[in-house]
């Protein structure tokens, strides 16, 4: 789902990050508030005031989405579901789970926590707005407060759409899961609803654009495409997990991977390994002892003219947790690590020794073969 993530801060143990796409929404929201929303409801204010209101409103939206996702994460963690953090992206935010909910009850409570928190926050801002209006707060302050009440209600309503993987779709899935005791079937139904609602939004977007409402129609269109894609992707993830259930990393790892020595010259490494095997990462062994890994991006940090005398040892990365998987890790969890970390190749290490190597391609191929055999 994400591209490049930028970590902002840690909130009660949850890492809060933004995807690069969030910059787009910040600019669009600020601009639309400054030139459209606030001037329409609060005329006769000066332009700098509108932009100041817009900046505070956008910041409030940012905080509201974090608040929404934070309560998803808190409830999930309280119910024993590991949570990695919160990431804001183009269409809002997401609480990053390291695994799917273990029961329908867990998913129901976790999914309901976000919209419920947004509704409470919306009423809180509405109460502040009414009180401020009664004591004579200035129009810019009242405008921003009313907007934050309104946007939190909208945030709750949008997330309650029965479109998986939105919160409403997850609530639907949890109820179907509880009824039939079949997660794959429940996900299929919930994802189908998500795809249908996405198609409806695409249709509304096209109709609005044909009617001349270009900006509004474009938003419907883009959100609809996103919902359809997210629903289909989420269903595929569940199917993949089901196919990998009970299997471990050691079942698919390459037990005798291509390795390099730390005293190998970088020019030789490029010619004899990268150009020959076309891998992105290679384990580095010193007399049979694992000392780290070397990646193409490590070599790229060395100027070409220096690669004739610089060695692999000069650029290798130590085998930290971000490059290592244990052999007994569940393959579904390993796949999550691969897709969220951006690394497609991992060292498999057991008791400090290299046991093998596993790649995203290996796991994807295994799933594809299983699906073909079962179709």
Task: List, by residue number, the catalytic residues.
Answer: 69
Query: Measured between alpha carbons, how far is 270 from 106 in angstroms, rounded to an integer?
Result: 50
Q: In terms of DSSP bridges, do strands 289-295 and 281-286 run parallel, antiparallel, or are they unpaired?
A: antiparallel
Tell me which H or E stretch contains 116.
helix 104-135
Structural contact between residues 14 and 86, judged by C-beta atoms closer than 8 angstroms: yes
Tell me the three state secondary structure of residue 79: coil
Structural contact between residues 94 and 86, judged by C-beta atoms closer than 8 angstroms: yes
Query: Measured between alpha carbons, how far is 271 from 273 in angstroms, rounded to an integer?
Result: 6
Angle subtended at Cα 273 by Cα 269 and Cα 278, rounded to the nearest 5 degrees? 130
Query: Measured between alpha carbons, how far is 149 from 124 in angstroms, rounded to an integer?
Result: 7
| DSSP assignment letter at 318 | P
SS3 assignment for 95-112:
EEECCCCCCHHHHHHHHH
Angle subtended at Cα 51 by Cα 50 and Cα 57, rounded to the nearest 5 degrees? 90
Those residues whose C-beta lies under 8 Å from the C-beta of residue 68, and which sit 6 or more positions away, are: 93, 114, 115, 117, 118, 121, 155, 159
The pair of structure tokens assigned to 368 is 């594809």
Helices (H), 160-213: 167-180, 183-210
């Amino acid at each position: 789902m994400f591209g490049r993530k930028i970590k902002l801060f840690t909130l009660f143990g949850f890492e809060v990050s933004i995807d690069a796409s969030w910059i787009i929404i910040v600019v669009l929201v600020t601009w639309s508030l400054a030139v459209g929303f606030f001037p329409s409801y609060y005329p006769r204010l000066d332009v700098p005031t509108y932009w100041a209101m817009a900046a505070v409103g956008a910041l409030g939206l940012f905080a509201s989405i974090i608040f929404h996702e934070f309560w998803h994460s808190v409830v999930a963690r309280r119910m024993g579901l590991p949570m990695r953090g919160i990431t804001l992206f183009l269409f809002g935010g997401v609480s990053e789970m390291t695994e799917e909910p273990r029961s329908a009850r867990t998913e129901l409570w976790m999914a309901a926590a976000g919209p419920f928190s947004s509704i409470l926050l919306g009423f809180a801002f509405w109460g502040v707005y009414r009180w401020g209006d009664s004591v004579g707060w200035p129009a810019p302050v009242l405008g921003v407060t009313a907007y934050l009440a309104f946007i939190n209600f909208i945030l709750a309503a949008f997330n309650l759409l029965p479109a998986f993987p939105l919160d409403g779709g997850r609530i639907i899935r949890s109820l179907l899961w509880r009824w039939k005791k079949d997660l794959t079937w429940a996900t299929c139904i919930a994802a189908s609803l998500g795809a249908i609602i996405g198609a409806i939004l695409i249709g509304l977007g096209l109709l609005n654009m044909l009617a001349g409402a270009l900006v509004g129609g474009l938003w419907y269109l883009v959100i609809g495409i996103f919902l359809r894609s997210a629903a289909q992707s989420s269903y595929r993830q569940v199917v993949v997990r089901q196919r990998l259930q009970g299997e471990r990393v050691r079942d698919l790892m390459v037990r005798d991977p291509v390795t390099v020595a730390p005293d190998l010259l970088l020019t030789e490494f490029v010619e004899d390994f990268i150009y020959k095997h076309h891998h992105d990462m290679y384990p580095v062994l010193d007399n049979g002892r694992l000392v780290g890994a070397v990646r193409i991006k490590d070599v790229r940090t060395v100027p070409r003219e220096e690669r004739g005398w610089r060695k692999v040892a000069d650029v290798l990365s130590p085998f930290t947790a971000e490059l290592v998987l244990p052999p007994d890790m569940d393959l579904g969890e390993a796949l999550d690590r691969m897709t969220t970390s951006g690394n497609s190749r991992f060292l498999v290490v057991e008791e400090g020794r290299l046991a093998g190597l596993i790649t995203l391609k290996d796991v994807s191929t295994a799933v594809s073969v299983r699906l073909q055999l079962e179709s």
